[in-house]
A = this chain, B = another copy of it.
């Protein structure tokens, strides 16, 4: 029973906090970690120790149960991280990406390594740990980026497909790959006890061998096997079974080789993701399973590990943040500038690459468990990761001033939802809808109607499957207006499939960009018949929002 209580509380709190962060346009991982901190020894354990001990008893099987679930969570999370890496895109990006990745790794690594070499005790090296290895770890930890968080920020700012976006993504992929290879070597050296030269050599050979083999022979084999699996097994069971089994097997092998299980999963993810035969829907499905069910357990559990107040050390945290930010901003920014980007874009690249998030914390946790760093340093790393992830989006927004795409969902209002429009002709319907729209902005309905009809005369607004989307640009309109109306009888809007419209979505905007966004959103959304039906069946405004909040792909 305790198992179900603990898991329900963890998952529920993590998802809730994650959704709240998403509403605030922040990556959901941050909410999941904060939920863990709230439920862990820091807050709940401090203020309500009795309740905390009831939910997460330290005795019995629960610690092992949690360890199992969170380990699977992080292993599968690294699988999806690997799936997102596209080696070819790194080659393609050329000089800028190369410079950004290279300097974005070298400079933070050098700064972190020097700082740790200079004063390992101050930075919270575990007593007895090899200081050279500790310094290597700090350097690596500060040079790694966090692909998922960066992708989310770029996507929200509508920059993912821009030149800057592709350079940042390729460089972050490269940094992740290099960072994890370095980190695996460090772990291998640690397990070897003292870092004698032969031991170091063995680890390097092992890690490089593992990576090279996985990305050549294994990758080629996967590319040959995938189409056969997709041809001869049921979808998606066969291919999911194959990928998850491969991930578990590779994790086992990585552990056997003395590097960490997550590295095995990460490399498998890259190898599978490189296959051109992997269906987009398969990777979306894996992504959906992992980020929604497995990963939240892991991220919430980070907060359970330690007391983030008792183990908080201001000097260490400030030092880590300063070194991390200076290193990445200067390194990646300089790389972008040398690669020929202008000053503002270069700063943007630096800021984007500076977001850490998940990867940093996974590294920190493994180092903590391996006895390499003290809890103080672990807390500093987590805080640094949270801090850099949180400031990246607002800072880039301020710097680049790009805009988010507008969607129907956020534009509709209760007043402009007309669930039962009484109209028999197109003109009657448009008149009533324009009247409702004009009413909200104190404007003349005749003007709206004239503009709508002008547009209608050029291209009829009837789409397929009983939908009509009349629209117009209205100069001086302060914000976009969307009117959603339903007509029981159906009205002819001259649709290509000849069917009458039962759902009318009128879009009025003051500028071209918003109109483009809203029409595109409508096009994507209503390309699925299901979305039209759900909108037609919505009983209330909440259900209308739910129908428009559907996935667009």
**Residues of chain A having any CB pair with chain B under 8 Å:** 1, 3-5, 7-8, 11-12, 14-16, 18-19, 22-23, 28, 61, 64-65, 67-69, 71-72, 75, 227-228, 230-238, 240-242, 244-245, 248-249, 251-252, 255-256, 261, 277, 279-281, 285, 288-289, 291-293, 296, 530, 534, 540, 542-543, 545-546, 549-551
A-B contact pairs, 11 of them (CB 8 A): A1-B252, A8-B251, A14-B241, A16-B241, A19-B232, A19-B234, A28-B234, A227-B543, A235-B550, A240-B293, A279-B534
CB distance from A221 to the nearest CB of B (A): 15
Kindly state the separation between the CA atoms of A291 and B5 in the bound complex, as whole angstroms. 23
Kindly state the separation between the CA atoms of A292 and B281 in the bound complex, as whole angstroms. 15
Q: In the assembled complex, which residues on chain B have CB atoms less than 8 Å from the CB atom of A256?
A: 1
| Sample of 7 more A-B contacts, CB < 8 Å, known A231-B546, A279-B550 | A4-B249, A15-B237, A22-B234, A64-B68, A228-B546, A230-B546, A240-B288
Kindly state the separation between the CA atoms of A238 and B67 in the bound complex, as whole angstroms. 24
Q: In the assembled complex, which residues on chain B have CB atoms less than 8 Å from the CB atom of A534?
A: 279
Q: In the assembled complex, which residues on chain B have CB atoms less than 8 Å from the CB atom of A248?
A: 4, 7-8, 11-12
User: Is B71's CB under 8 angstroms from A3's CB?
Assistant: yes
Q: In the assembled complex, which residues on chain B have CB atoms less than 8 Å from the CB atom of A228?
A: 542, 546
Kindly state the separation between the CA atoms of A240 and B22 in the bound complex, as whole angstroms. 16
User: Is B231's CB under 8 angstroms from A8's CB?
Assistant: no
Q: In the assembled complex, which residues on chain B have CB atoms less than 8 Å from the CB atom of A540?
A: 227
CB distance from A6 to the nearest CB of B (A): 9
Q: In the assembled complex, which residues on chain B have CB atoms less than 8 Å from the CB atom of A72?
A: 7, 69
Kindly state the separation between the CA atoms of A213 and B289 in the bound complex, as whole angstroms. 30
CB distance from A109 to the nearest CB of B (A): 30
- Which residue in chain B gives the minimum CB-CB distance to A241? B15
Give the copy number: 2
Kindly state the separation between the CA atoms of A231 and B547 in the bound complex, as whole angstroms. 7
Q: In the assembled complex, which residues on chain B have CB atoms less than 8 Å from the CB atom of A542?
A: 227-228, 231
- Which residue in chain B gives the minimum CB-CB distance to A18? B237
- Which residue in chain B gives the minimum CB-CB distance to A551? B235
Q: In the assembled complex, which residues on chain B have CB atoms less than 8 Å from the CB atom of A8?
A: 245, 248-249, 251-252
User: Is A549's CB under 8 angstroms from B235's CB?
Assistant: yes
User: Is B285's CB under 8 angstroms from A288's CB?
Assistant: yes
Kindly state the separation between the CA atoms of A270 and B549 in the bound complex, as whole angstroms. 25
User: Is A15's CB under 8 angstroms from B61's CB?
Assistant: no
- Which residue in chain B gives the minimum CB-CB distance to A289? B289
Kindly state the separation between the CA atoms of A12 and B243 in the bound complex, as whole angstroms. 10
Ranked 6 nearest A-B pairs via Cβ:
A15-B241, A8-B248, A4-B252, A1-B255, A231-B545, A230-B546
Kindly state the separation between the CA atoms of A28 and B252 in the bound complex, as whole angstroms. 26
CB distance from A81 to the nearest CB of B (A): 17
Q: In the assembled complex, which residues on chain B have CB atoms less than 8 Å from the CB atom of A551?
A: 235-236, 281
Q: In the assembled complex, which residues on chain B have CB atoms less than 8 Å from the CB atom of A279?
A: 534, 550
Kindly state the separation between the CA atoms of A12 and B250 in the bound complex, as whole angstroms. 13
Q: In the assembled complex, which residues on chain B have CB atoms less than 8 Å from the CB atom of A14?
A: 241
CB distance from A39 to the nearest CB of B (A): 13
Kindly state the separation between the CA atoms of A16 and B237 in the bound complex, as whole angstroms. 10
User: Is A233's CB under 8 angstroms from B19's CB?
Assistant: yes
Kindly state the separation between the CA atoms of A71 and B6 in the bound complex, as whole angstroms. 14
Kindly state the separation between the CA atoms of A7 and B248 in the bound complex, as whole angstroms. 7
User: Is B293's CB under 8 angstroms from A15's CB?
Assistant: no
User: Is B4's CB under 8 angstroms from A255's CB?
Assistant: yes
Kindly state the separation between the CA atoms of A36 and B74 in the bound complex, as whole angstroms. 26
Given contacts A236-B288, A240-B293, contact A245 B68 (CB under 8 A): no
Kindly state the separation between the CA atoms of A242 and B16 in the bound complex, as whole angstroms. 9
User: Is A241's CB under 8 angstroms from B543's CB?
Assistant: no
Kindly state the separation between the CA atoms of A237 and B16 in the bound complex, as whole angstroms. 10
User: Is B4's CB under 8 angstroms from A251's CB?
Assistant: yes
Q: In the assembled complex, which residues on chain B have CB atoms less than 8 Å from the CB atom of A4?
A: 75, 248-249, 251-252, 255, 261
User: Is B1's CB under 8 angstroms from A244's CB?
Assistant: no
- Which residue in chain B gives the minimum CB-CB distance to A71? B3
Q: In the assembled complex, which residues on chain B have CB atoms less than 8 Å from the CB atom of A16?
A: 241
Given contacts A1-B256, A64-B64, contact A545 B232 (CB under 8 A): yes
Q: In the assembled complex, which residues on chain B have CB atoms less than 8 Å from the CB atom of A236?
A: 288, 292, 551
- Which residue in chain B gives the minimum CB-CB distance to A530? B280
Q: In the assembled complex, which residues on chain B have CB atoms less than 8 Å from the CB atom of A18?
A: 237, 241
Given contacts A1-B252, A249-B4, contact A241 B11 (CB under 8 A): yes
Q: CB < 8 Å: which of B233, B255, B292 contacts A240? A: B292
